[in-house]
C-alpha cells in the first residue's frame, strides 16, 4: 500500500511540474518599436488578467501578458511590441518580420 501511495505521489508531482512547464517560452520575440519598423503589423491584441477574488496579494488565474503572447503565436507573428503591460492586463501590436 505504501509503495502504491508513493508512486501516486510521484506521478502527481511529475504532472504538476509538466503543467507548470507547459506555459514556457514562445516563438514570438518581444521587441521595441524601432526594431520592427521594416515589419508588417498583423493585429493589435489586448487581454485582461483575472485577478481572482479580492485579496491583498492577488493570484493571477488568467495572465493577460501570457495570453497576448499565445495569441500572437497563433497568428504566426514573429515579434510583439507591448503598448501596455500591467498586472490587470496587457496590450500589444503583433508584427510579422521577413527572415
CA dihedral sign of residues 39, 96, 80, 92 = positive
Which residue ranges of the chain lie beneath pLDDT 50? 5, 15-22
Q: How many CB atoms lie within 10 A of CB 28?
A: 22
Res 95: pLDDT: 97
Judge residue 29's burial from the number of C-beta atoms within 10 Å of its C-beta, 0-12 exposed, 13-18 middle, 19 or more buried: middle
Instruction: Please give the pLDDT value at position 34.
Output: 95
- The CA distances from residue 60 to 11, 15, 82, in Å, are 26, 21, 19
What is the pLDDT, as a whole number, of residue 20? Answer: 45
pTM of the entire predicted model: 0.67
Grid cell digits, residue 87: 498586472
Three-class SS state of 13: helix
- Would you say domain 26-96 falls under CATH 3.30.1660? yes
The structural domains of the chain, with segments of one domain joined by +, span 26-96
Amino acid at each position: 500500500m505504501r509503495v502504491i501511495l508513493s508512486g501516486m505521489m510521484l506521478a502527481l508531482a511529475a504532472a504538476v511540474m509538466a503543467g507548470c512547464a507547459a506555459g514556457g517560452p514562445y516563438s514570438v520575440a518581444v521587441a521595441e518599436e524601432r526594431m520592427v519598423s521594416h515589419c508588417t503589423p498583423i493585429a493589435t491584441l489586448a487581454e485582461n488578467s483575472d485577478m481572482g477574488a479580492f485579496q491583498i496579494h492577488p493570484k493571477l488565474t488568467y495572465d493577460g501578458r501570457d495570453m497576448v503572447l499565445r495569441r500572437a503565436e497563433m497568428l504566426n507573428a514573429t515579434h510583439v511590441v507591448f503598448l501596455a503591460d500591467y498586472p490587470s492586463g496587457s496590450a500589444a501590436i503583433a508584427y510579422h518580420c521577413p527572415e
